[in-house]
């Protein structure tokens, strides 16, 4: 079957830590280097790929699919649209799908963290450890790094944390962070500055001094034992991409390769302008919407088409579509759409396919359809209509074979926020321009380096 599928001096080339003053931009963008002419890239490791430390060869591809889908259900708790503080604290840390290797400190120390567009502060487990979850790789020891520095209280990076998430150690004048998550997981430690080296596995590694990160001395919960922490790629002031700022011209991109049990294809994240030559006539672009909390990347979804049938996503002639009504997130597998809208989408999909409808034995996905042996099944093209950008999804973006004789839609209803997940983003070059406030989509064979 084919579709189985302050008062500080101006920042120059490098952020300088001088005597008692740390200089940061008023916008807390923390630019740390000169603009890089062509940018740099890092491989992303999908947790279910054969090259992942979490890969279990005894699991079937169907087992891995359902595990990813269940992580999506858990992860949506972090996006619940209550108060900004509640959204921040409802994070389920085990929901990330991609690992990213970075090196921190001097000498460089390898860290494997979850690459997370839904988090800001990058943090890792650190020695000495008061309480830590089990981690197979060695923990980072800041005492062995010549470039490690604790951040003082009342500094800009400390104040960038929510007031309920920061504590001041008055005796040492050290800023500390304290994150608690929705599933009772937690991380606590020092807010610090350290040298980061990114892209070591590629031909063009780049180092940045004095990046802000969290050095966690007290951590616990449902974190994976191969991961050292989280690499924050969100829109808030302390995220990695916001700290790199002008050095990457506010641009980063990723290209997610379809996952398969037999595939060693790597996905890639690119920081900077290296992808400019790849933006072609097939690219479509939509605007980011500024909303609270600033961590998340909000887009405006106007409609969804199943084949030629277009279904308006909320709004009417009397009530226009709400701006910023969906979050794009690389760490969530499934796509979630508003429940009332989903009812119409489900009917349109069933009409377009015309095959026998069956039930998912796991009770997670719907609708599902029987695939008759030797006959296959015709699956429709689903197009998501963002404001200014029509993104045509292929069947592998929207359907999955969950059993040998069953195919299911990988879009599910949500009573909370809508999320455009990573299955829908595979085989697209997804490019974020945080200066122009846009996200663009270019159809791309992401399995081809």
Assess whether 48 carries a catalytic annotation.
no
Distance CA 414, CA 178 (A): 30
Which residue in the list 116, 165, 224, 427 is annotated as catalytic? 116
Compute CA distances 355 → 4, 28, 342, whole Å: 15, 54, 19
Query: Can you tell me the distance from the alpha carbon of 335 to that of 414, in angstroms, rounded to the nearest whole number?
Result: 9
Q: How many Cβ atoms from other residues are within 10 Å of residue 421's Cβ?
A: 27
116 assigned to active site = yes
3-class secondary structure per residue, the chain? CCCCCCCCCCCCCCCCEECCEECCCCCCCCCCCCCCCCCEEEEEEECCCCCCCCCCCCCCHHHHHHHHHHHHHHHHHHHCCCCHHHHHHCCCHHHCCEEEEEEECCCCEEEEEEEECCCCCCEEEECCCCECCCCCCCCECHHHCCCCEECCCCCHHHHCCCHHHEEEECCCCEEEEEEECCCCCEEEEEEEEEEEEECCCCCCCEEEEEEEEEEEEEEECCCCCCCCEEEECCCCCCCHHHHHHHHHCCEEEEECCCCCCCCCCCEEEEECCCCHHHCCCCCEEEECECCCCCCCCEECEEEEEECCEEEECCCCCCCCCCCCCEEECCCCCCEEEEHHHHHHHHHHHHHHHCCCEECCCCCCCCCEEECECCCECCCCCEEEEECCEEEEECHHHHEEEEECCEEEECEEEECCCEEECCHHHCCEEEEEECCCCEEEEEECCCCCC
Q: Pick the catalytic residue: 48, 165, 224, 329?
A: 329
Catalogue the active-site residues: 116, 329
């Amino acid at each position: 079957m084919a579709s189985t599928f302050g008062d500080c001096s101006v920042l120059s080339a490098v952020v300088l830590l001088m005597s008692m003053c740390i200089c940061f931009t008023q916008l807390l963008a923390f630019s740390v280097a000169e603009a890089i002419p062509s940018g740099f890239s890092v491989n992303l490791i999908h947790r279910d790929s054969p090259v992942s430390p979490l890969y279990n060869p005894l699991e079937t591809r169907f087992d891995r699919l359902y595990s990813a889908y269940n992580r999506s259900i858990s992860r949506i708790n972090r996006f619940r649209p209550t108060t900004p503080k509640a959204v921040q604290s409802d994070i389920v840390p085990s929901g990330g799908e991609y690992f990213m290797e970075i090196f921190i400190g001097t000498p460089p120390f390898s860290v494997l963290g979850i690459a997370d567009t839904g988090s800001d502060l990058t943090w890792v487990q650190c020695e000495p450890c008061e309480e830590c979850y089990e981690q197979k790789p060695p923990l980072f020891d800041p005492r062995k790094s010549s470039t490690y520095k604790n951040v003082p209280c009342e500094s800009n990076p400390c104040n960038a944390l929510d007031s309920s998430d920061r504590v001041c150690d008055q005796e040492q004048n050290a800023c500390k962070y304290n994150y608690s998550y929705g599933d009772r997981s937690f991380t606590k430690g020092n807010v610090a500055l350290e040298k980061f080296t990114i892209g070591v596995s590629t031909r063009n590694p780049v180092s940045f001094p004095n990046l802000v990160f969290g050095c966690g001395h007290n951590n616990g919960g449902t974190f994976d034992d191969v991961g050292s922490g989280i690499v924050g790629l969100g829109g808030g002031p302390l995220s990695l991409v916001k700290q790199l700022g002008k050095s990457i011209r506010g641009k980063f991109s990723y290209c997610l390769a379809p996952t398969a049990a037999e595939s060693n294809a790597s996905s890639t994240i690119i920081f900077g302008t290296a992808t400019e030559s790849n933006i072609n006539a097939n690219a479509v672009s939509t605007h980011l919407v500024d909303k609270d909390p600033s961590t998340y990347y909000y887009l405006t979804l106007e409609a969804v088409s199943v084949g030629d049938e277009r279904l308006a996503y909320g709004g009417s002639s009397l009530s226009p579509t709400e701006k910023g009504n969906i979050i794009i997130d690389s760490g969530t597998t499934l796509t979630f759409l508003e429940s009332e809208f989903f009812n119409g989408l489900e009917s349109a999909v069933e009409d377009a396919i015309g095959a026998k409808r069956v039930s998912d034995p796991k009770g997670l996905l719907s609708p599902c359809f029987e695939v008759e042996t030797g006959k296959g099944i015709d699956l429709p093209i689903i197009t998501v209509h963002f404001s200014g950008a029509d993104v045509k999804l292929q069947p592998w973006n929207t359907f999955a074979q969950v059993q040998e004789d069953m195919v299911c839609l990988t879009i599910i209803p949500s009573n909370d926020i809508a999320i455009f997940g990573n299955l829908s983003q595979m085989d697209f070059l997804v490019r974020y321009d945080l200066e122009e406030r846009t996200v663009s989509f270019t159809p791309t064979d992401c399995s081809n380096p």
